[in-house]
Chains A and B, each alone.
Chain A
Amino acid sequence: MKEMPAANPIIFDKSKCMGCNRCMEICQVDIFLPNPEKGKPPIVAYPGECWYCGCCVMECPVEGAIELQHPLMNRVHWIEKRLLIEQGNE
C-alpha cells in the first residue's frame, strides 16, 4: 500500500539523470536516499520535509535532470498588464 504525499517537490527526468547523487549530498534537509540501483536518480524519501530552496537543482550537472516545483497551493498568478486593464474596463 502506498499513499500520495501532500506534494511532490522533486521531479527527476530518468532519461537525463546519471545517478551521481550530487543533489542528494547537497540537500541540507536530507530528504533523499540513494537509489539501490546504481545510476538511477535518488529516492525522494521525505518529500514533506523539503524546504524548496532549489540547491539540489543548482548542484546538478545535467540540465533538466531534476526539477523543483512548488506545491499547487503555492503556485502564484500573473497576468499581462494589457489584459488586466482590458478586463478591468469591461
Chain B
Amino acid sequence: MYDNAWPYPLEYDREEIINADVLVLGGGVAGCMAAIAAARAGQKVLLVEKGATKRSGAGGSGCDHWESAATNPCSKVTPEELTQAMLHDNDGFNNGISHYIECREGYDRLLDIEKMGGKIRDTEDEFVGADFRDDETKLMFAYDYENKFTLRIWGTTFKPAMHKELRRLGVQILDRVMVTSLLTEKGAQGGRCVGATGIHTRTGKFYIFNAKSSIICMSRPARVWLFSAELPGLCEFRPTQCIGDGHAMGWRAGAEFTMMEKSVRAEFSASGRSYPPYGAGNNHNTWYAASIIDSRGKEIPYADRDGNILNDVKDRFRPAKGQKFFMKGGGIDFPKYEIEGPETLSFSKMMEEGYKLPFYADLTTLPEEERRVIWGMMVGQEGKTNVPIYRNYTKEGFDPAKHVLQCYGTGWTSASFLPQERQLFGLPGGFFNDWTLSTNIQGLYVAGDALYASDCYGHAAATGYYAGRHAAKYALSNDLLQWDRQQVDKEKVRVYAPLKNDPHSSIGWKELNMAIAKTMQNYCGEVKYDDLLKVGLVRLKEYEENIIPQTFAYNPHELVRLLEVFDILTVSQIIIEASLARKISVDALYFKRGDAIEDESSKDKLIVIKQHEGEIIKREVSVDFFGDLKENYEKYNQDYIRGDRS
C-alpha cells in the first residue's frame, strides 16, 4: 500500500452545487455521444465521469470493429433485416429498440466521429485492392465481405476525438467524480429525476447536480461472481471502475430492470482463468479469420454452417450457399443456423480427429493483406491491444509472417471457467426502456451498455446520441425542479460513514467484494433453486445491515472503491430478485432452474422488476412489446429524419 501522506487536499463534507439542463452520468462512448447530441440541441450540458473522459470506458483505449452499420453505402442488408436477425438469434430476448437505433443511426455516428477527427476509412491507401476494402469509399469491412455491414475502424482515435468535440461544444466536463445516487422530486422513490449526487475520487468533495433531465451512461455490472484481491483490475473484462453503479442507483431510485436473471459462464477474466483478450491464439472478433493449426503444424479446417469444408481462405468471408448474410462479433455467441458463419471445427471434433494440443493461431499462410489487417490494424486498434499486445509483442520479436501464437483453454476466449463463475456478458440484462430511451422514471434516460440486452461500440454511440436528443427535448419542455435537502443529507451520511470506523477492526472493499462474489457463486450459480436464492438474499441482507457499517477506507480513492462494492451488493440483490421472479428455465437467457416449478406462462415474456419502498414489484411484458420497428422509430424521430438540429 501507498504509505506517503495523501497528496490531494481532503474536502470531505464540502459541497458544490452545479446546475445544467441535461446531466450526463458517465463519460464513456454512450455518455460522450449523449452529451454531444444534447449540446447540439442547444442545451447546457454537464458530463460527470469517474475516470478521465478522454480515454475512459470500455472503448477508451480503442476498438477495431463497428457492428451493424446497415445504412453505410456498401451495405447489402437493411436495418430491419439485421435487427430481426438479432431478435431471432436470442428467441426474442433482445432489445429491439436499441438495436434498431444501432442499425439505423450507427453509420450517421461514424460519419460524425470522422468529422470530429476519428479515422473510419483507409485514407492512407494501405489496403488498396483488398477484398475487404471498398476502393471508392475506402471503407473497410470485417467478417461478411459480401454484405459489408460491419466496419473495421481505427478506434484508438475515437475517444480523444469525442473529447475534443465536447470541449468545442462547451460541454462542462467533470472528471474524477463518482456519481453515487439519483435525486428525485421531493426525494420520493419513483419520482421525477431532478439530478444526482457525486463524490470526488481524489478529494472526497461532495457534489449536488441539479438538472431538468439526466442520462445514465455508466455501463453494466461486473465483479459480481468474479473477484481477485491481488489483481482486481484484471478480474473482469471491463474497466476496473465500471461495476454497475448506474444499476444500483437506478434500483434505489425505483427504476425498472429486465433480464437481470441472465448470466453466462464467464468468458474473460485475465486475473485467473483467461489469457489476455485478443493477445492469445484465437480466430474470433479481432482475429477473424486466422488459421488455426495444431502443434504438428497441421491446419484445422474451416467449415460452413452445413459442415462443408472451406478450402479457399476467401470462403471464410462469404455466406454459405443459400444464406443471405452471416453475423459475427460481440453479441453473437452461439449463432442460430440462419446467421451462422464459417467456423473451425468444434473442439471436441478436433480432439476426435486426432489433432494434437495445444493449438496455435497462424497468420503466416494467410494472404498478405489479411495478415496485415489482423496484426497491425485490428490488433493495434482493438481495446487494450495497442500497447500491451501490438507494441510489446513486436518489441519482443513476434513476427506474424513467421511465428504462430499459442491458444489456451478450449475456445476462442482463451479460458476455461467453472460453471458458477459467471459474468454479465453477451447481451445481459439492464435498464428497461421505451422508444425514447426513457426509463420509467420521468426525466431519466439511459444509453449504451446500461440498457438491457446491449453490447458494442456502435450501439453505445448510436443509443447515446439518441438518448441525448430525447433528453434534450424533455429538458426544453420541463422546468428545473428543486432537489430535496433531506435526500441529499441522507446520501452524505451514507457515503462518508466508512471514514469514521477504526481501520484495525474494520472490513475493507476487497474483503467485502470477495465475500459477495463467493456468496453469489454459492447461492446464485449456474443452476438456480428458490430455496438457495432465498438464503442468498438473506446473506446479502446481512452484509448490508451488519457488515457495511463495519467498513473502512483510508482515503477518497479507497472510499470510491468501497462505494462501488456497496453497489455490487445492490446489483447482486437485483440479480437474485430477478432470478426468483423467473420460475422456469429459459435457454435464451442461459437461465437454468434446478427446481421444477410448472408454469410456462413467462416463456416469451420479459420480467420487468423494480423496487418500491422495500417491496419488489414485477410485471411481465411480451418480448416484442416495442411493436413494428420501422413504424415506431419513425413515429418518434420525425425531426431527426427531417434533419432538424435537435
Q: Which residues of A contact B (CB under 8 A)?
A: 5-7, 25-31, 33-34, 36, 43, 45-46, 48-55, 57-59, 67-71, 74, 76-82, 84-85, 87-89
- Closest 3 pairs (CB-CB, A-B): A54-B387, A28-B51, A88-B296
CA distance A45 to B276 in the complex (A): 23
CB of A6 to closest CB in B, whole Å? 3
Contact B2 A28 (CB under 8 A): no
Closest to A66 in B: B387
Contact B403 A80 (CB under 8 A): yes
* Interface flag for B329 (CB, 8 Å): no
CB of B174 to closest CB in A, whole Å? 14
CB of B378 to closest CB in A, whole Å? 15
* Interface flag for B280 (CB, 8 Å): yes
CA distance A31 to B388 in the complex (A): 17
CB of A49 to closest CB in B, whole Å? 4
Contact A70 B388 (CB under 8 A): yes
Contact A78 B398 (CB under 8 A): yes
* Interface flag for B614 (CB, 8 Å): no
CB neighbors of A among B43-60 (8 A)? 50-52, 54-57, 60
Main secondary structure of the interface of B (DSSP, over half): loop
Contact A52 B406 (CB under 8 A): no
Closest to A7 in B: B231
For A59, list chain B residues within 8 Å (CB).
Answer: 55
Which of B50, B57, B239, B402 meets A80, CB within 8 Å?
A: B402
Contact A45 B404 (CB under 8 A): no
Contact B241 A45 (CB under 8 A): no
Contact B240 A43 (CB under 8 A): no
CB of A68 to closest CB in B, whole Å? 5
* Interface flag for B4 (CB, 8 Å): yes
Closest to A3 in B: B1
Which of B57, B275, B385, B402 meets A81, CB within 8 Å?
A: B402
For B360, list chain A residues within 8 Å (CB).
Answer: 78-79, 84
CA distance A69 to B234 in the complex (A): 13
CB of B153 to closest CB in A, whole Å? 17
Interface size on B, residues (CB 8 A): 58
Contact A52 B356 (CB under 8 A): no
CB of B365 to closest CB in A, whole Å? 9
CA distance A6 to B202 in the complex (A): 24
Contact B4 A43 (CB under 8 A): yes
Known contacts: A30-B202, A54-B387. The answer to whether A74 contacts B55 by CB under 8 A is no
CA distance A57 to B293 in the complex (A): 33
Closest to B560 in A: A30
CB of B600 to closest CB in A, whole Å? 43
Contact B52 A76 (CB under 8 A): no
What are 13 A-B contacts defined by CB distance under 8 Å? Answer: A7-B230, A26-B52, A28-B56, A28-B57, A29-B241, A34-B7, A48-B233, A52-B276, A53-B383, A54-B61, A70-B392, A80-B402, A88-B356
Most central of B229, B364, B392, B398 by chain A CB within 10 Å: B392
Which of B52, B232, B270, B295 meets A84, CB within 8 Å?
A: B295
CB of A53 to closest CB in B, whole Å? 4
Contact A81 B403 (CB under 8 A): yes
Contact A6 B296 (CB under 8 A): no
Known contacts: A46-B557, A70-B276, A80-B402. The answer to whether A53 contacts B297 by CB under 8 A is no
Contact A52 B233 (CB under 8 A): yes
For B241, list chain A residues within 8 Å (CB).
Answer: 28-30
For A29, list chain B residues within 8 Å (CB).
Answer: 51, 233, 239-241
For B204, list chain A residues within 8 Å (CB).
Answer: none
Contact B384 A54 (CB under 8 A): yes
Known contacts: A28-B239, A30-B176, A30-B557. The answer to whether A78 contacts B276 by CB under 8 A is no
CB of B287 to closest CB in A, whole Å? 13
Contact A68 B392 (CB under 8 A): yes
Which of B239, B293, B404, B405 meets A53, CB within 8 Å?
A: B239
Additional A-B contacts beyond A28-B241, A79-B404, A81-B402 (17; CB < 8 A) = A7-B230, A28-B51, A28-B57, A33-B4, A34-B7, A43-B2, A45-B557, A51-B233, A53-B239, A58-B55, A59-B55, A76-B275, A76-B280, A78-B398, A78-B404, A80-B402, A81-B404
CB of A78 to closest CB in B, whole Å? 4
Taken residue by residue from 576 to 600, chain B's Cβ proximity to chain A (1 for < 8 Å, 0 otherwise) reads as 0000000000000000000000000
Contact B240 A79 (CB under 8 A): no
Contact A52 B52 (CB under 8 A): no
Contact B403 A50 (CB under 8 A): no
